[in-house]
Structure 1
Amino acid sequence: MNTQLHDIKTNIEIGQQIFEAVPSNLQPKWAGVILNKFNKHITEIPEQIKELNDIIKKPDRWHEAHKQFGSIRRFLLDSKKYAPQEYVLLAESIAKITYNSSGKPAPFDFDSGYYIPSLALKAADFFQDESLEEDIKTTLLLFRGNKNLTTDLASAKEILLYHQIDDILWYDWDPIGINDLAPRDEYQSYTPQIFSLIKSNTDKMVIAKTLSKIETYNMGLAGNIEKCLKIADQILAIDMEN
């Protein structure tokens, strides 16, 4: 189904459909991936949002998101000129659904997650970057259209992991240094290879050498093994969190 950006921004029912298509155990991490799409565009990420991101990474810390919501709300009230405000409101909604996923008493409103799609795209509007909008839309719709994934948690985790690896290659690896100029799919042909290595429980050095080899033989660059080792660490950390 072709879901237009305008419809996601304005129709809360579509927001509900998008959110409810995400397996409940993955909702905080899915939302965290969306939040991280803005890292490259925001010069000073509020500490309260950085702390929320750390909480999202560890399910045994999800209950801390209730207090973190209060911290983010206070930041917004104290920083009325902060822009885009939708980015902070997005973080608030993500804090709410993260706490709700902890299973602790007194959850936030059941529809808190319905606003995530709209807020994410409205925040993206501020930067006037079509590639950011499309990237966010892709993440929003990762699970929509496949009802089986709501019960097949293993497959859903793999889809999210694949997307996170693709993000790391684009935002962090970016050996050519073109992720603010080139089409979003510039490195996507390498994602399956790295994903396959992760699924095979390959160690850090093999992943790093594979990335360095791609830099050297596919791109004609001088391979940067030190950076590739850091990228391998990032990818392995994501796999462990999932």
Structure 2
Amino acid sequence: MMTEQYDIKNNIKIGQEIFENLAHDIRPGWAGLVLSRFDHYIKDIPISIRELYPIIDDKNRWKEAHKQFTKIRAFGLENKNYEPNNYLRLAEVVAKVTYNASGQSAPFDSDSGHYLASLALKATEYFQDNRLNAEVKSAILLFSRNKKFKDNLTVADDFLLYKKIDNILWFDWDPIAVNDIAPRDEYQSYVPEIFRLVKAKSDRQEIANRLYKLETENMGMSGTIENCLTIADKILKAQ
């Protein structure tokens, strides 16, 4: 599927194709990943949106996304001048997609997820930042290049986790403080090792120790084990 060649932002049929190619249980994680691309660009993320992330990360809590949608909608109604407005609309759709995946009664419209890609790209226009646009488009198309993800949930879950770890190392760890100037692949050579540690059920201390060693020995930086423990916690929560 060569979706890159088409206008994802303005053609809802492209958004529908992308969404329908996703396995049912992978949709919340994917939607949350797209939303999270804005985390480092929004100065004050509304609490109602921050609260949505742990719901997305726990399948047993997906049913709570209906109430979270209501909270996000209420925030928008109370803050009608909030910018970018498309970011709030995107968060609402993410909540809808998450609730619908729970299988609970009274789901939102089944085509809610068709608008996610378009809203995400429209939200990037507010920032006029090429890096954000690239990050959002990469997240949108994460599962679009290989149909095997729709048929193999385990492979899709692992791929999503791998991408989340990559993002955490880039946006949150960033020991040499270059994520605003360096090529996007600066830390990608470390992702496979950290991914293997997570899959091997390593605890936070083991992961933090490895991050600390990479910082201090491989890169020659003066990192702290405390910060590495914080990053390790974030990585483990991404499962």
| Percent of pairs with identical residues | 54
Q: Are residues 199 and 64 of structure 1, via their aligned partners in 2, closer, same or farther at CA, if it must alter by over 3 Å?
A: closer
Q: Report the count of equivalent residues.
A: 239
Distance in 1 (CA, whole Å) between partners of 2:72 and 2:205 is 39
**2:182 aligns to what?**
182
Name 1:97's counterpart in structure 2. Answer: 97
Amino acid at match of 1:213: K
Q: 2:81 matched to which residue of 1?
A: 81
Is residue 2:214 matched to residue 1:214?
A: yes
**Contact map agreement 1:21 1:150 (CA 8 A) in 2:** yes
- 1:91-134 Cα distance to aligned partner (Å, 9 max, x none): 11111111111111111111100111111111112111111111
In 2, Cα distance between equivalents of 1:16 and 1:226: 43
The runs of 5 or more residues in structure 1 that have no matched partner are none
Q: Distance in 2 between matches of 1:229 and 1:68?
A: 29
Q: 2:125 matched to which residue of 1?
A: 125
Q: 1:93 and 1:99 mapped to 2: Cα distance? A: 10
Partner in structure 1 of residue 111 of structure 2: 111
Give distance in 1, aligned partners of 2:89 and 2:28.
15
> 1: distance between equivalents of 2:6 and 2:125?
11
Q: Which residue of 1 aligns with 2:17?
A: 17
More deviation, 151-160/72-81: 72-81
**Matched-pair contact (CA < 8 Å) for 2:23–2:151:** yes
- After superposition, the C-alpha distances for 1:174-232 in whole angstroms (9 at most, x for unaligned) are 11112222222211111111112222222322221211121123222123211111111
Q: Which residue of 1 aligns with 2:158?
A: 158
- Measure the CA separation in 2 of the matches of 1:35 and 1:108: 19
Query: Using a 3 Å threshold, how does the CA distance of structure 1 residues 121 and 31 change in structure 2: closer, same or farther?
Result: same
Partner Cα separation in structure 1 for residue 68 and residue 196 of structure 2: 36
Q: Matched residues in 1 for 2:205 and 2:72: separation?
A: 39
**TM-score between the two structures when normalised by the length of structure 1:** 0.93
Alignment-derived partner of residue 38 in structure 1? 38
The answer to whether the Cα contact below 8 Å between 2:57 and 2:237 also exists between their aligned partners in 1 is no
Provide the rounded CA distance (Å) in 1 between the counterparts of 2:25 and 2:38: 23
Equivalent-residue separation in structure 2 for 1:8 and 1:104 (angstroms):
30
Whether the 8 Å CA contact 1:131–1:184 is kept in 2: the answer is no
What corresponds to 2:203 in structure 1? 203
Structure 2 CA distance for aligned equivalents of residues 172 and 35 of structure 1: 16
| Separation of aligned partners in 1, 2:79 and 2:195 | 41
Offset of residue 237 of structure 1:
2.0
- Bigger drift between 81-90 and 130-139 goes to 130-139
Residue 146 of structure 1 deviates from its aligned partner by 1.8
For 1:139 and 1:123, locate their aligned partners in 2 and report how far apart those are by CA, in whole Å. Answer: 14
1:19, distance to aligned residue in structure 2 (A): 1.0
CA distance in 2, matches of 1:178, 1:187: 10
Q: Return the alpha-carbon distance in structure 1 between the equivalents of residues 120 and 147 of structure 2.
A: 23
Q: Which moved more, 1:115-124 or 1:64-73?
A: 64-73
The residue type equivalent to 2:135 in the other structure is D
CA contact (8 A) 1:76 1:88 kept: yes
Cα distance between partner residues in 2 of 1:40 and 1:234: 15
**Is the CA contact (8 Å cut-off) linking 2:28 and 2:56 kept in structure 1?**
yes
Kept after mapping to 1: 8 A contact 2:12/2:114: yes
State the distance in 2 between where 1:195 and 1:230 align.
16
Distance 1:53 1:234 in 2: 12
- Partner residue, 2:134: 134
In structure 2, what residue type is equivalent to 1:73? R
Deviates more, 1:65-74 or 1:21-30: 65-74
Say whether the 8 Å CA contact 1:5–1:121 is kept in structure 2: no
Provide the rounded CA distance (Å) in 2 between the counterparts of 1:229 and 1:73.
Answer: 35
